[in-house]
């Protein structure tokens, strides 16, 4: 009887087995590192391109975070301009343009079209992040997309860099925290500008096209802030 219990207890009763653990860790690295670092690379490039916006973020940092203190996630609600800039970096950067593909689990009727069960569907995130009906200047970097006339942060339902629905990015909250803390921490410590001989007009905002959209390689100068 005891042997039987031992045998039964080695049978996986749960999805938390070794295979799942390995895949979950791989997911964290594959899905969770390049996405955030690519977004920060877009952020630094855009701050070099638009130094007046970089300065405005730094002014907000100085107003709300004491010198010598690192930003905390609590600071975000007091920093609408920085929040808007980070959202706009994600919208403009559009780093996962094709989203991940999905398959219809049943026959689906979509706007009068029948999509049979098992069809691969690629929901383009670009079509929302650059939708002319949702954004004033979809092809320009414009933090005002996320600010009202009083400078308060405003959400927009078309902000979908993490996709939508049940299979939306599992790391969305973590990614948003990371982006705020890394971006604000970097701009608190450094001012970014292009190297000698490169003007801000020279900085290229066209992405390197692949499965993800990454900035074309660029050089950065970083001056330590006083």
Among 175, 187, 213, 214, binds ligand HEM (CB under 6 A): 175
122 lines the binding site for ligand HEM (CB under 6 A)? no
**Which residue stretch of 31-39, 75-83, 149-157, 196-204 sits at the interface with ligand HEM (rule: CB under 6 A)?**
31-39
Torsion angles phi and psi, residue 88, rounded to 5: -70, -30
Q: How many residues does the chain have?
A: 226
Q: Which is nearer to ligand HEM, 145 or 194 (CB)?
A: 145
As beta bridge partners, residue 207 has 215
As beta bridge partners, residue 57 has none
* Helix, strand, coil fractions of the chain, as percent rounded to 5: 45, 10, 45
Torsion of CA 193, 196, 200, 206, to 10 degrees: -90
77 lines the binding site for ligand HEM (CB under 6 A)? no
- Binders of ligand HEM in range 125-144 (CB under 6 A): none
Q: Is 169 annotated as a binding residue?
A: yes
Question: Strand, coil or helix: what is 206?
Answer: coil
Among 100, 108, 121, 221, binds ligand HEM (CB under 6 A): 100
Binding residues for heme: 169
Residues at the site binding ligand HEM, with contacts judged by CB under 6 A: 27-28, 31-32, 35-36, 39, 95-96, 99-100, 161-163, 167-171, 174-175
């Amino acid at each position: 009887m005891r042997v039987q219990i031992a045998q039964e207890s080695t049978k996986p009763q749960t999805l938390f087995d070794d295979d799942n653990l390995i895949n979950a860790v791989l997911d964290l690295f594959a899905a969770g590192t390049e996405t955030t670092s690519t977004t920060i690379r877009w952020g630094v490039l855009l701050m070099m391109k638009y130094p007046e916006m970089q300065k405005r973020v730094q002014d907000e940092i100085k107003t709300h975070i004491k010198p010598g203190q690192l930003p905390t996630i609590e600071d975000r609600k007091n920093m609408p301009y920085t929040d808007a800039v980070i959202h706009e970096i994600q919208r403009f950067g559009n780093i996962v343009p094709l989203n991940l593909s999905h398959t219809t689990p049943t026959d689906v009727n979509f706007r009068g079209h029948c999509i049979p069960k098992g069809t691969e569907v690629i929901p383009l995130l670009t079509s929302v992040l650059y939708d002319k009906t949702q954004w004033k200047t979809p092809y320009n970097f414009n933090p005002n997309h996320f600010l009202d006339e009083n400078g308060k942060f405003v959400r927009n339902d078309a902000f979908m860099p993490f996709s939508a629905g049940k299979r939306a990015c599992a790391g969305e909250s973590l990614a948003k925290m990371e982006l705020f803390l890394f971006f604000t921490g970097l701009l608190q410590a450094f001012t970014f500008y292009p190297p000698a001989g490169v003007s801000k007009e020279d900085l290229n905002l066209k992405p390197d096209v692949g499965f993800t959209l990454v900035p074309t390689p660029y050089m950065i100068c970083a001056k330590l802030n006083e």
